[in-house]
Structure 1
Amino acid sequence: MTFSVVARCAETGMFGLAISSSSPAVAARCSYARAGVGAVATQNVTDPSLGPLGLDLLEQGLSAVDAVAKLRQMGKFIEYRQVLAVDRNGLTAIHSGPNSLGIWTQAQAEDVASGGNMLANEGVPQAIINGFLSADGHIGDRLIAAMRAGIAQGGEAGPVHSAGLKIVDKVSWPVADLRCDWTEDCPIEAVASLWDLYRPQLDAYVQRALDPREAPSYGVPGDE
């Protein structure tokens, strides 16, 4: 019921994740990233505990391959789970349990991995990888391009209703955490519109947290 992409920007060290599903609020359960550590998506019959656990393993120094292998040992009902990970060196790993739903498949390259279940066809994850690798610019732009490529390839077998985009950088919180929890229209385009609005303000929000004395004005009525 989900397709996703986890990625690292080799130039900036940022990590990001984008995800979409026919289920509501998919990003609330399935997307995890930690600055300087990596990104993990946990999906299919979702066990949200695998996301933080995967990040903890990456932070301890395990590679994405070793962390996902450890999750296979530690996770409950792992045969029902899909887990994707990218680490600080750009290594990627994917676990897709044999009880993943419908058409399920995966694809990966340096710095980026994609997987999905209940897909329209087996080509969706590779289309997502190609979309990410062929795009330029900010990791957020590249993740949006990747998800658009996935939906253009067919996406899920049925309509998707929720989506999310998460990006981490040098601080302990996500510098972008954008979600569309339910829509009858395309949630990927809804998140893309949010990203277009948020991206020019991203650095200002970080600066306000670090030192509001040096931050730009808020740009709202009453701000002087």
Structure 2
Amino acid sequence: MTFTLVARCRDTGMLGLAVSSSSPAVASRCIHARAGIGAFATQNFTDPTLGRRGLDLMEKGATAAQSIDIVSATASDAPFRQLAAIGPHASPAAFTGASCLAQTAEHFGSDCVAVGNLLASTGVPAAMVAAFEATGGHLAARLVAGLAAGLAAGGETEMVRSAGIVVVADLPWPVVDLRVDWHEADPIAELGRHWAVWEPRLPLYLARALRPAEAPASDTV
């Protein structure tokens, strides 16, 4: 049903997530992040409130592992939930309930964790982590590369239809929040095209928000 990569960039402090699913509009329900606090994914039979609860705990000082432990222990219908989280410094963490849709898998890197359910192969998360760690550039680009690798490794048992990424930096809003809510052929490739359009414009939109008197009026890059 869903495969997700949760990650941070050691160089910039950015935190982010990328997700894809056979379900529509998966990013609107599953991925949550707060600048300087953490990134938290909630999926399988998704309860979006768990992402916000996890980040609330991390904002109060919990590590990713502690927030996962608390949320998974107190969530309603916890066996049906799959969770993953990362903070600015400590190790990432994940939880897969016993009633999640098979096949499930998790794989950890030093600065990321990938999780999935209803997978065509249990190697999907490992492929995502490997691609993330082998890719340079902006965190968003590395997240998209991870999604693409997950799909190439088998993805879901059903055709994926939606995808999205969220990246937070040092501002109270996401610097990247891109979604493909439904695509008949390849939402991950379409998400990559969205990022290719957004990336050169990102400095412009930050300038308009933070230094409007200095920012150009044209979106041409």
Report if TM-score (shorter chain) is over 0.5: yes
Q: Is 206-215 or 179-188 further displaced after alignment?
A: 206-215
1:22 matched to 2:22: yes
CA distance in 1, matches of 2:13, 2:165: 17
Instruction: Report the 3-state secondary structure (helix = DSSP H, G, I; strand = E; otherwise coil) of the residue aligned with 2:121.
Output: coil
Number of the residue aligned with 2:207: 207
Q: How far apart are residue 217 of structure 1 and its match?
A: 2.7
Q: Is the 8 A contact 2:201 2:219 kept in 1?
A: no
**One-letter amino acid of the counterpart of residue 110, structure 1:** S
Letter matched to residue 182 of structure 1: W
Superposed, which structure 2 residues align to 1:54-133 within 5 Å? 54-133=54-133
Paired position in structure 1 for 2:10: 10
Q: How many residues align?
A: 220
8 A contact 2:18–2:143 mirrored in 1? yes
Tell me: CA distance 1:121–1:49, structure 2 relative to 1, closer, same or farther (3 Å). same
CA displacement 1:47-92 (0-9 Å, x = unmatched): 0000111111111111111110010122111110000000110420
- Tell me if the contact between 1:113 and 1:129 (Cα under 8 Å) persists in the aligned partners: yes
Flag as ranges the 4+ runs of structure 1 deviating above 2 A: 216-220
Q: Name the structure 2 match of 1:37.
A: 37
TM-score, normalised to structure 1, is 0.96
**Structure 2 unaligned runs (5+)?**
none
CA distance in 2, matches of 1:151, 1:29: 20
RMSD: 1.0
For 2:198, the equivalent position in structure 1 comes to 198
1:30-55 superposed Cα distances (whole Å, 9 cap, x missing partner): 01011001101100000000011111
Q: CA–CA distance in 2 between the matches of 1:202 and 1:52?
A: 26
Of 105-114 and 20-29, more deviation after overlay is shown by 105-114
Is residue 214 of structure 2 the alignment partner of residue 217 of structure 1?
Answer: no
Deviations 1:136-191 (A, max 9, x none): 11111111111111011000011000000111111101111000000111000111
Identity over the aligned pairs, expressed in percent? 45
**Residues 90 and 112, structure 1, Cα contact 8 Å, conserved in 2:** no
Change (3 A) 1:47 1:194: same
